[in-house]
Structure 1
Amino acid sequence: MAANVRGASGRIRIVGGQLRNSRLDVPDLPGLRPTAERVRETLFNWLSPVIAGARCLDLCAGTGALGIEALSRGAASVQFVERDPRAAQALRDNLTRLKAQGGQVAGVDALAYLQGAPQPFELVFLDPPFAQDLWAVMAQRLEQGSWLSASAWIYVESPRSVAPVLPPSWSPHREGVAGEVRYALYRRVLAAA
């Protein structure tokens, strides 16, 4: 979930896959900023060769649009992490209503979640609240805490004017700008020993 000055309410649409055109209910919560449809469409076009069967982590999930889009397009599982109880419940309700298999919601703070027992993910969505400037600390915990598979993909969303400090092992793959949002896909590349 990322910060914005206005709350979001209503519904957003899943762009592709089995749940294409399904609507997600979006609670009216301050700071809730769902990833735009055209950004999700672009991102999942980039990910189309690797999404099938992927184990995904949607940190600061908010509406869960990114993770549900991943499930719709064939991801094996998505662990959603969302600290706001109302957003987490709305996410659970959407998963149930859509009969989306493979999604689990942890109603905890993302940094607290990353202190737990790690399991490596092949795809991570990193879209923290913009106002809290958490990219560097979350990226460091992901990288150093054994949360990423050896060649994981990491999606990062930030304000257009912000260039998050990310681990050197995260190699830029593709990026774009939509309005005031910068979105980028990275590939984890470990140095040969």
Structure 2
Amino acid sequence: MRIIAGDWRGRKLSAPKGDATRPTADRTRETLFSMLTSRLGSFEGLRVADLFAGSGALGLEALSRGAAHCLFVEQDRAALDSIKSNIAALDARGRSDVEAMSVMHLRPAREPYDLILLDPPYKTGAGAVALDRLLRLGWIGPATWMAVETGADENVEVNGLEVDAERRVGKGKLTLLRYPDPDAAPN
């Protein structure tokens, strides 16, 4: 597993040992970031949350491409060790925070994030449940983009959000979501 683009392009990432986590394949990450780049233009200065973070590859990819800060949220001990190791290896401590907890226990946000990346376990519906909770807790604002990786046959539906794009990649599917009308978003 490697960083695909940006300042850390080509740098290796460690993945947690065991089968408790499923690291996002390089090809899937490349597809996701291509989809996001076509919508965001640039990652410069973005506040990113990498939820169900696993190795932290998604958030680290965003940081490599210029994101200002990333919050990594993971509850698995081996995955947390990998995230911390990857952050240290890339010297990204000053632009990263790591929360050792379930995504379902997150507190209200001080302000909305620019980009929320979710890679929950397949076939659990956890991505939609988490997004519904984050919407109510102020993590999602009018300009927030959300990306969820699920199994290829899963759909992500959240009241108040619309699907902007879906793309199947191997056994998975990438879904991008946002407010249907940014002016209609709650303040």
- Give the alignment's TM-score, normalised by structure 2: 0.88
Instruction: Check conservation: 1:135, 1:166, Cα contact below 8 A.
Output: no
The letter of the residue matching 1:19 is W
Equivalent residue pairs, number:
179
Residue identity matched to 1:177 = R
Shift of 1:131: 4.3
Structure 2 partner of 1:9: none
For 1:136 and 1:44, locate their aligned partners in 2 and report how far apart those are by CA, in whole Å.
20
Distance 1:136 1:144 in 2: 13
1:78–1:31 Cα change, 3 Å: same
Secondary structure of 2:8 counterpart: coil
- Cα deviation digits, residues 65-104 of structure 1 (max 9, x gap): 1000000000010000000122112111110111124111
Q: Which deviates more, 44-53 or 60-69?
A: 44-53
* Corresponding residue of 2:137: 145
The whole-number CA distance in structure 2 between the counterparts of 1:155 and 1:15 is 17
**How far off is 1:149 after superposition?**
2.3
**Structure showing the higher helix proportion among its residues:** 2
Q: Percent identity?
A: 36
Equivalent of 1:61 in 48, 53, 59: 53
8 Å CA contact retained: 2:108, 2:138:
no
Q: Is the CA contact 1:52–1:73 (under 8 Å) kept in the aligned structure 2?
A: yes
In structure 1, the partner of 2:170 is 179
* CA distances 1:39-70 after superposition (whole Å, capped 9, x unpaired): 21122223231421110111110011100000
Counterpart Cα distance in 1 of 2:123 and 2:152: 13
Q: 1:106 aligns with which of 99, 107, 112?
A: 99
- Tell me the secondary structure at the aligned position of residue 41 of structure 1: helix
Q: RMSD value over aligned CA atoms? A: 1.7
Q: Alpha carbons of 1:16 and 1:129: their partners in 2 closer, same or farther (altered >3 Å)?
A: same
Tell me which moved more, 74-83 or 104-113.
104-113
Question: What amino acid sits opposite 1:124 in the alignment?
Answer: I
**Mind listing any 5+ residue stretches in structure 2 that lack a counterpart?**
none
Query: Does 2:108 align with 1:117?
Result: yes
